[in-house]
Each structure stands twice: as C-alpha cells, then as structure tokens.
C-alpha cells in the first residue's frame, strides 16, 4: 500500500514553518473528525452522506501524497452514490494509514 508523506505540505509551505505547522494542525484536527463522521454514516447505512464524506476525505488523501489511493477513494465515492459498498475495506485501510501517519507528525 502507498504510504502517506508530507511532501505536498513541504512544497506548499516552502520555508514558512508557521504555515506548515498550521497545515499539520488542521490535518490533525479535521482528519479524525471527518473519519468519525464517515464511520457513523456507514453504520447508519447513509450511503449518500457517506459519499459526500469520502469526497471531502479525498482532499486529505491528496494532501498526504497518496496519488494512487485517491483513485480508490474516487471509485468508492461513485460506488456509494450507486448504493454499493464495494471498495469499502480498501478505502478504510487508506484511512487507517492516514490516521496513523498524522498522529506521528
């Protein structure tokens, strides 16, 4: 599985360490919240809302440099819109890797 990195954050922030710290703080705050919302939507079988959450999470996937995994998320979002949970385990594995990565930042 592709591993997250902070290359995009480094590239975006350049030498601005304060900006980089703010980006990381936002990720650390928002990612767990967005994952929890997604999980609750899946538990409640609210697939159309879950698709919207996956759409939001795709941005975090991009920020963490998971280019190949972005396409898995995109496919899963489409599946959810069609009331299909195919690719759910793949998507949730991505979320787990992302969450573990940001906890170490």
User: Where does the pLDDT of residue 7 fall: very low under 50, low under 70, confident under 90, or very high at 90 and above?
Assistant: very high
* Per-residue pLDDT, 33: 98
Q: What is the pLDDT of residue 27?
A: 96
Tell me the per-residue pLDDT of 44-68, one tens digit each, with 9 for 90 and over.
999 999 999 999 999 999 999 999 9
Q: What is the spatial distance between Cα 64 and Cα 23, in angstroms, rounded to a whole number? A: 11
11-50: per-residue pLDDT in tens? Answer: 999 999 999 999 999 999 999 999 999 999 999 999 999 9
The contacts of residue 84 (CB under 8 Å, 6+ apart) are: none
**Lookup: tokens for 11:** 């590239």
pLDDT at 1 over 90: no
Q: DSSP state, 6?
A: S
pLDDT at 53: 98
């Amino acid at each position: 599985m592709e591993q997250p990195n902070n290359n995009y954050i480094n590239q975006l922030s350049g030498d601005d360490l304060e900006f980089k710290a703010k980006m990381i703080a936002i990720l650390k705050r928002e990612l767990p919240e967005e994952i929890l919302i997604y999980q609750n939507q899946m538990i409640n079988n609210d697939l159309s809302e879950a698709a919207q959450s996956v759409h939001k999470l795709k941005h975090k996937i991009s920020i963490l440099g998971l280019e190949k995994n972005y396409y898995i998320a995109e496919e899963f979002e489409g599946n959810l819109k069609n009331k299909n949970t195919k690719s759910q385990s793949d998507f949730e594995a991505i979320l787990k890797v992302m969450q573990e990565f940001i906890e170490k930042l």
